């Protein structure tokens, strides 16, 4: 988990996230997810190349992260100044979205559908092959 400095003043809060400074990569792409019902599971993929930082800038959600070797952990994103860093080749599921959830995703790469692994069995097989 990453804690970003809150730099607000009497006018309100301000959180600054600079690539290669507050997070360990240069930001090539941002996207944000909102309007997902609380029965929706998003993500459900691993990325061969892309690293992400996810920040719930409003509301909350949970992220379940798996490493393909039997380890998994659940992280709650519920603060605009807290993010989770996800290196490449982790399997992630985002779920339990609050109605007001706005999930900001910072990515290290431009979108390339070919580097997404969307089949869990295939992902585990690749992890096994690459790090036996
Ligand atoms: P998807 O990867 O399923 O979103 P999530 O990570 O929330 O599960 O993406 C949904 C669709 O949007 C899919 O058709 C791919 C497309 N997409 C892009 O074209 N560019 C992007 O940067 C992203 C994240 C998705």
The string of pLDDT tens digits covering residues 99-122 is 999 999 999 999 999 999 999 999
- In a 13 Å sphere around the CA of 96, the CA atoms on its Cβ side amount to 10
pTM higher than the cut 0.75: yes
56: pLDDT strictly greater than 90: yes
Atom 2 of ligand 1, residue of closest alpha carbon? 43
By 3-state DSSP, what share of the chain in percent is helix, strand and coil, each rounded to 5?
A: 10, 45, 45
Atom 23 of ligand 1, residue of closest alpha carbon? 111
Under DSSP, the state recorded for 124 is: H
Q: Pocket of ligand 1, candidates 28, 42, 62: which has the most ligand atoms within 8 Å of its Cβ, to mutate?
A: 42
Catalytic residue check, 45 = yes
Q: Is the CB of 86 under 6 A from ligand 1?
A: no
Q: Pocket of ligand 1, candidates 35, 43, 108, 117: which has the most ligand atoms within 8 Å of its Cβ, to mutate?
A: 43
C-alpha 107 – ligand 1 centre gap (Å): 12
Tens of pLDDT, residues 9-25? 999 999 999 999 999 99
């Amino acid at each position: 988990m990453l804690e970003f400095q809150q730099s607000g003043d009497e006018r309100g809060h301000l959180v600054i996230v600079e690539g290669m400074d507050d997070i360990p990569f240069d930001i090539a792409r941002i996207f944000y997810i909102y309007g997902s019902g609380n029965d929706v599971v998003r993500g459900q993929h691993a990325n061969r190349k892309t690293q992400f930082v996810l920040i719930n800038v409003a509301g909350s959600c949970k992220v379940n992260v798996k490493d393909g070797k039997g380890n998994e952990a659940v992280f709650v994103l519920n603060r605009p100044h807290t993010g989770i860093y996800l290196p490449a080749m982790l399997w992630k599921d985002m779920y339990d979205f609050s109605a007001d959830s706005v999930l900001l995703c910072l990515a290290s790469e431009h979108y390339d559908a070919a580097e997404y692994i969307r089949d869990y069995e295939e992902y585990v097989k690749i992890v096994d092959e690459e790090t036996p």
